[in-house]
Amino acid sequence: MLDLERLRALHSVATYGSVSAAADVLHVTTSAVSQQLAKLERETGQKLLERNGRGVRLTDAAELLVAHAERILSLVEQAQADLEAHRGSVVGQLSIAAFPTAVRGLMPAALRRLGAEHPDLRVQLREEDPMQSMPLVSRGDLDLAIAQDWNNEPLPLPEGLRKGVICDDVADVALPSVHPLAHRDAVELKELAGDPWISSSPDSICCDWLLRTLRAIDSEPRIAHMAYEFATQLALVGAGLGNAILPRLGRCDVPPGVAIVPLAEPLTRRVYALWREEAARRPAIRAAVTALRAAAPPDVPVPAMAGTATMAS
């Protein structure tokens, strides 16, 4: 009989590329992973790892076993989800990763609600960009990822994941209060062509999106400064150093010298929760999505389509 934890150790080595990386993910020592693999080799009568320079590589037998382990671990997760659904209780542990503005704008209220309504649920939150968090959900290292896409740039859904809509987040433009258009009721983005802009850091989704959005109106972006935090971007706008496009969910207190002006053609990003198909029946997943929708601020609408039915989509 193959031991499940030994299969999990081998699967982690295959997924993360080394014994030490697998140990980090499994929260054990490298020695513990090596011992599990040695026992699995004795159990199967097959050599599973070979030296490859300073690292290791999987043998053909290990590759075969990993393919089965992936299916076995998926079935175990599905069984656990079905048992939780049968019991109907929101219990256990739930790991969530969210991008920075969702951490600030949604998670405090959502976590407070989950704690009050489901005291037997333990939630662990981490701040993570969706490009990093979605693969972690796919691999089973996270239960939920909070991700986003824009109405002019849809989010590709990785295979094996499902999503539920949390809210729609409208973006406004932040202008220096001395800008000629600062006191308008609304502004066309093309009216700002040629202006200097404040952007997120160059390795972020937001920076890439801003560049593509401005180029779509035939305006080659003039990125004057880059800052990861929206509060810092607003401070730079207030100093007259450029404009910024800021979603309402991520907006902090607006400092003096900044005018927030709606866009005549709104730019909207949709915020999603993503989870694995195998975990779709977990009451904890449903409870978290419900709490996140309830946490949306009044100026960040929850679409009508974001009802319970979307949990199955």
CA 73 – CA 77 distance, rounded (Å) = 6
Quick: pLDDT tens for 139-161: 888 999 999 888 767 778 888 89
* Beta strands at 92-98 and 55-58: parallel, antiparallel or unpaired: unpaired
CA 310 – CA 165 distance, rounded (Å) = 7
Instruction: Identify the top-confidence range among 85-94, 142-151, 170-179.
Output: 170-179
Asked whether residue 303 carries a pLDDT value surpassing 80, the answer given is no
Looking at the fold, whether 197 and 263 belong to one and the same domain comes out as: yes
| Listed residues 69, 85, 101: the one ending a domain | 85
Angle between helices 107-117 and 283-294 (to 10 degrees): 130
Looking at the fold, whether 151 and 291 belong to one and the same domain comes out as: yes
Q: Which domain holds residue 35?
A: 4-85
Q: Which CATH number fits the domain that encloses residue 149? A: 3.40.190.10
Predicted confidence at residue 84, as pLDDT, reads 63
Looking at the fold, whether 232 and 181 belong to one and the same domain comes out as: yes
Predicted confidence at residue 107, as pLDDT, reads 94
Asked whether residue 61 carries a pLDDT value surpassing 50, the answer given is yes
| 164 pLDDT tier (thresholds 50, 70, 90) | very high
Q: Is pLDDT larger for residue 175 or for residue 42?
A: 175
Looking at the fold, whether 293 and 160 belong to one and the same domain comes out as: yes
In the chain, the N- to C-terminal Cα span, in Å, equals 37
Sequence-distant (6+) residues with CB within 8 A of 145 are: 96, 97, 98, 128, 130, 133, 134, 136, 137, 273, 274, 275
Sequence-distant (6+) residues with CB within 8 A of 307 are: none
* Residue 173: closest CA among 158, 147, 148, 195: 195
